[in-house]
Amino acid sequence: MKGEEITPLRAKLRGGDLAVTSDITPPRLPDLASLGEQALVLAPHVDAIFVTESPGARPRVGSLAAAVYLRRELAIPVVLQLVARRSNRIALQSELLSAAAWGIYDLLLLRGDPATLGSLPEAEDLNCADTPSFIAMARLMRDEARLCDGSSLREPVPFLIGASVDPFEDPFDEEGLAAKLDAGVDFLVTQPVFDVAAFAHWLQAHRVMLGRTALLAGVLLVHSAGMARHMARVPGIHLPPSLARELSLSPDPAGAGLELACEIVHSLLQLPGLAGLHLMHLGNAPGVVELLRACGLARR
């Protein structure tokens, strides 16, 4: 295994400069050409692209295969998303080792969507390890160069470990956040922020708890009323109840969604202590670039 690579995301998080990231979802077909096209639209404007793993519990090209393609074929910095819910501890450590074998060390480790929400609700979730346990596996490889069974690795694996946090869950899971922090997470990505005032209150209340852990605030670009109605049904997404109706009445719903996202970005940038922004888009990569330009954050 190679030594640590200072990726653009790592450089921003360490240097204290604003990091901007986005995400991309692998296709449901064994063809990565369209994935590459979307990634090439985003790549000039972001520090890393997060490659999602079966969002909505639907079968897709695996995140590791997609991340390897983007990194090796297109030289795009990636963050590999892996989920704990559908694999046992042996398989999870194998996935971490496989990522390291391909030189992919920046990770977002999640629990994952339950199978009951997806296209095969009869599928079984293993739930062998929770998110803090998954984080601890990666930290063990990084800090102690060993696996959970005590096996020694030849050298540490230089993982950068990320996880998610939902500031808007009611009641907020203080113990869950503490467990992720104690397990060794390096950065956190929030669920999409719509109520900036509520997020600012949460951030202030948890500033001491978060300590030096980098926090990326999620921003969801909603481009239609249909998308708003769909996302409102997704666990962990807290859209304003009126948003779908407002977009349905707008003569330009995509423009209205862009304006809302831009307002949120500008408000978030006023908050102290944020390490960056994570822009979510559901396949609308050009919309993310348009958002960055509207906010004065585009790099070309």
Q: What is the mean pLDDT of residues 36-50?
A: 97
141-179 residue pLDDT tens: 999 999 999 999 999 999 999 999 999 999 999 999 999
* DSSP structure string for 141-174: HHHT-B-TTSPBPSS----EEEEEE-TT-SS--H
91-116 residue pLDDT tens: 999 999 999 999 999 999 999 888 88
CB atoms within 10 A of CB 175: 9
Q: Which amino acid is at 258?
A: L
User: In whole angstroms, what is the distance from residue 224 CA to residue 280 CA?
Assistant: 14
User: In whole angstroms, what is the distance from residue 227 CA to residue 28 CA?
Assistant: 19
Is residue 278 classed as helix, strand or coil in its secondary structure?
A: strand
Residue whose structure tokens are 């739930």: 127
**Residue 2's pLDDT is what?**
55
* DSSP structure string for 165-220: E-TT-SS--HHHHHHHHHHT--EEEEEEPS-HHHHHHHHHHTHHHHTT-EEEEEEE
18-34 residue pLDDT tens: 999 999 999 999 999 99
Q: In this structure, what DSSP letter does residue 117 have?
A: G
* 106, 7 Cβ separation under 8 angstroms: yes
**8-294 under CATH 3.20.20.220, yes or no:** yes
Q: Is the dihedral of CA 65, 70, 72, 73 positive or negative?
A: positive
CB atoms within 10 A of CB 254: 17
Q: What is the mean pLDDT of residues 268-292?
A: 95
User: In whole angstroms, what is the distance from residue 53 CA to residue 35 CA?
Assistant: 14
* Listed residue (268, 135, 128, 123) closest to 195, CA to CA: 268
* Listed residue (100, 105, 111, 40) closest to 70, CA to CA: 40
Predicted structure pTM score? 0.95
pLDDT higher than 80, residue 4: no
Listed by start position, the domains of the chain span 8-294
Name the token pair of 67: 């991340």
Q: What are the Cα distances from residue 209, in Å, to 92, 108, 161, 278, 290?
A: 28, 20, 18, 21, 35
Is residue 94 classed as helix, strand or coil in its secondary structure?
A: helix
User: In whole angstroms, what is the distance from residue 128 CA to residue 120 CA?
Assistant: 20
* 210, 181 Cβ separation under 8 angstroms: yes
Q: Angle, to 10 degrees, between the axis of helix 174-183 and the axis of helix 131-143?
A: 20
